[in-house]
Amino acid sequence: MGQKVIRFSDLTGKHVDDDAQLVRIVVQDHPDLEDGPVEIEALAEELSGVQDLALDLVTFELHYPDSGEPRTVVMEAEAFNRLVSDGSMAEVLRSAKRVPRSIPSQAQQPAAKDRINYASLEHAGKPHKGRTTDAEKQLVRQHLDRINEQLTAQGIRTIDLTNPDHVARYGLEAVAQERGATLG
């Protein structure tokens, strides 16, 4: 029995005939975004005019003396430039004091020993936020049954070949087809 995966644009629902026409879109910030960046896909033709619609934006922080936390502001560059009444914004920025790029403090950075290596047999396939690396995908493809046994033993959800999200996340299309799994 064969299996066919049918893909659709996340933006329009239009059928995707050629995967080479898919554009991966990572949404970093949006008012409706709740838990960090997400990834969607659309056809290249659906995005043809998006570059022309892009805005020139400026992101800056306001550090008020009576407030502990800075406030981040994003606005159009043209409006920001108009804040300068004597000279140009380019001159103001050229003569401004340099600020070191912020580096997360030690407290914010997980210690190397505390980081989980999902590209290891011990942790591959476990649910996690963030990008699934090619190394993790390869381990899952090569050792799917063993990884699912480990996940079951640990009381964690297993990788389901009928779940389109799992198949896509770990690149399991060929494995699912080989095992005759039907995507749900």
What is the count of structural domains for the chain? 3
Half-sphere exposure of 74 (CA within 13 A, CB side): 6
Strands 38-43 and 71-76, bridge-based pairing:
unpaired
| Domain containing residue 172 | 116-184
Q: Could you tell me if 150 and 86 lie in one domain?
A: no
Q: Could you tell me if 66 and 28 lie in one domain?
A: no
- The predicted-structure confidence for 54-73, as pLDDT tens digits, reads as follows 888 888 888 888 877 888 88
Q: Could you tell me if 65 and 47 lie in one domain?
A: no
Q: In 3D, which of 111, 147, 145, 146 has the Cα closest to residue 132?
A: 147
- The predicted-structure confidence for 69-91, as pLDDT tens digits, reads as follows 888 888 899 999 999 999 999 99
Whether the full predicted model's pTM is greater than 0.85, yes or no, is: no
Give me the pLDDT at residue 52, please. Answer: 83
Query: What is the DSSP code (8-state) at residue 82?
Result: T
